[in-house]
Amino acid sequence: MTAMMNSSAKLTFICFLLLTSCAGDFWVKTHAEIQNNIPAEAPLKRVEIQNNLPAGTTLIVHCKSIDVDLGVHHLTTQSWSFSFNPLQVRKSVFICGFAWPGQLKLFDIYVASRDMNACVECIWKISPDGPCRLDQATNKFDVCFSWDPPAQYERKPLI
């Protein structure tokens, strides 16, 4: 009889574990979808930065989020990219510092509220006038922004 009760208790415990793990998975998916307006199985976001400065000018790029420092990269003619899971950085903002001879600029290269539904691959051309993102519908770099004002540089130290 004790062996039977032991068996029954083990079976009850296993069923409890299965039910709570399934319910927990359901809650996480539902919560992510509702709170962030993104599917629980969201694809990776990819951000690419292309140097669109005059020929031969090296663009120094330093990007980071509140959690991750992506390091310093020197771009002469090539591009550089990074990817991340939007579920792990839900309200993500990636800030980049851009430097070239005589210039230092800052820009929030990825802001979830602005870019989440605009691009899966967010491709940017960096020019002296400001960053322009590829509009995937028109296949043109015509989604352009101004550089962050210098007053914000102290709040976002990068380079």
What is the tens place of the pLDDT at every residue in 26-38?
A: 323 333 333 445 4
Does 10 score more than 70 pLDDT? no
Q: Which helix (H) or strand (E) holds 88?
A: none
Task: Look at residue 89 in the predicted model and tell me its pLDDT.
Answer: 60
Among 6-15, 40-49, 56-65, 72-81, the least confident range? 6-15
pTM of the predicted structure, to 2 decimals: 0.69
> Which domains are assigned to the chain?
1-40 (no CATH), 45-152 (2.60.40.10)
Does 96 score more than 70 pLDDT? yes
What is the tens place of the pLDDT at every residue in 109-121?
A: 999 889 888 988 9
